[in-house]
Amino acid sequence: MPCEQRQIVLGELPQGALRPEHFTLRQGPVPSPRKGQILVRTVLLSIDPANRAWMNGPTYRPQLVAGDVMAGYALAEVVHPGDSGLEAGSVVFCDTGWQEYAAIPADAAVPVPVQSALTHHLSALGLTGMTAYFGLLKIGRPEAGETVVISAAAGATGSVAGQIARIKGMRVVGIASSREKRRVLEEDLGFAATVSHRSENFADDLGAACPHGIDVYFDNVGGSVLNSCMRLLNEGGRVVCCGSVSTLDRPGPPCDPELVPMKIITHRLRVEGFIVLDYLSEWTDAGAEMAGWIADGELRVLEEVIDGLDRAPDALIGLLAGQNLGKRMVRVGPDPGEKSMR
């Protein structure tokens, strides 16, 4: 057990685009857990657009403060369980922050019964997979035969949401930028069509890909893509407000008053936001259904594991630029039980 550890500090809150200079790598002490806390070792850091959103203001958590260790969810190994009842060596999901060890309140650690590759518990079976599952099924409530459009479709959440929609019998159209992403979506994940939002003819392309309009739009990006999708929404359409990555680094184009609220009224739209943590009590059942689809080969898991805590800032900055294909995570330490193999 070392006395010192590496930590990445958010040195400055970004005003516009997030850059590497906003972060500092430093040596800090390994904390001693206080009463009610446990000590955990970070294994895999989850890299999410939400990391960036937390810098902009209070969300479902207080705004990040410059000078603190960067916040972030992770899979971690319990080192000192204290009197929590957790087992040493077991895996928990918690906000360790971007550091090798963290002392966290025992009741903020969610035990993870590992039943698949550990990485799956951050991707399809973890926060982003659950986000896709509950966002699509509880908020979007699509019906078989409906047209579902997903933005950031090759991302961690989008790639899973699109496949769940396909499995449940909807026609799925993905919005993604690169040719390679679109190939993977169409050829490997079974999307019916894909459209690039970087095309000059994006609105027309989207219309052509959705000849019967849009019934459910699963929005990961906000901004002008949200506007374009709202124009095509059918009566009774639903917008699942999941993320707004296009507006995190800079304000997006404001939405047209024709869309909010006139289109919402005339077309009886429902535009609804959600936070996946609200559904924690249902994660076990959802995870079992998802694990079944993975085992059957129905649901393919796209993951990118980047090695080394020091690469976390670049991993996040690249994610915000849309460089990832599937769920991005950073390996901070070996899986539990693999330490001796290093």
Contacts with a second copy by CB under 8 A lie at 53, 56, 58-60, 219, 222-223, 226, 235, 239, 241-244, 247, 251-258, 260-275, 278
Residue 247 contacts residue 259 (beta carbons within 8 Å) = no
Q: How far is the CB of 237 from a second copy (least distance, A)?
A: 10
Q: Give Cα separations from 187 to 179, 181, 191, 316, 323 (angstroms).
A: 12, 10, 8, 27, 19
What lies within 8 Å, CB to CB, of 148 at 6+ separation is: 136, 140, 142, 162, 165, 170, 171, 172, 173, 214, 215, 216, 217, 218
Q: How far is the CB of 257 from a second copy (least distance, A)?
A: 4
Q: How far is the CB of 224 from a second copy (least distance, A)?
A: 10
The residue (of 76 and 175) whose beta carbon lies closer to a second copy is 175
Q: Give Cα separations from 165 to 83, 114, 189, 223 (angstroms).
A: 43, 26, 11, 23
The residue (of 58 and 297) whose beta carbon lies closer to a second copy is 58
- Which two structure tokens, joined as six digits, stand for 126? 């973890």
Q: How far is the CB of 140 from a second copy (least distance, A)?
A: 13
What lies within 8 Å, CB to CB, of 176 at 6+ separation is: 152, 153, 154, 158, 182, 185, 194, 196, 197
The residue (of 235 and 338) whose beta carbon lies closer to a second copy is 235
What is the DSSP track for 223-254?
HHHHHHHHHHEEEEEEEEE---GGGTSS--PP
The residue (of 115 and 266) whose beta carbon lies closer to a second copy is 266
The residue (of 185 and 239) whose beta carbon lies closer to a second copy is 239
The residue (of 240 and 312) whose beta carbon lies closer to a second copy is 240
Q: How far is the CB of 259 from a second copy (least distance, A)?
A: 9
Residue 47 contacts residue 318 (beta carbons within 8 Å) = no
Q: How far is the CB of 232 from a second copy (least distance, A)?
A: 14
Q: How far is the CB of 73 from a second copy (least distance, A)?
A: 16
The residue (of 80 and 231) whose beta carbon lies closer to a second copy is 231
Query: Torsion over CA of 42, 48, 51 and 54, rounded to 10 degrees?
Result: -130
The residue (of 87 and 256) whose beta carbon lies closer to a second copy is 256
Return the closest-CA partner of residue 1 out of 31, 37, 35, 26.
Answer: 31
Return the closest-CA partner of residue 221 out of 17, 53, 63.
Answer: 53
- Which two structure tokens, joined as six digits, stand for 99? 């550091």
How far is Cα 203 from Cα 323, in angstroms, rounded to an integer?
23
Other beta carbons less than 10 A from residue 26's beta carbon: 12
Angle at which helix 127-134 crosses helix 283-295, to 10 degrees, equals: 100
Q: How far is the CB of 141 from a second copy (least distance, A)?
A: 12
How far is Cα 87 from Cα 284, in angstroms, rounded to an integer?
20
The residue (of 2 and 58) whose beta carbon lies closer to a second copy is 58
Q: How far is the CB of 94 from a second copy (least distance, A)?
A: 21
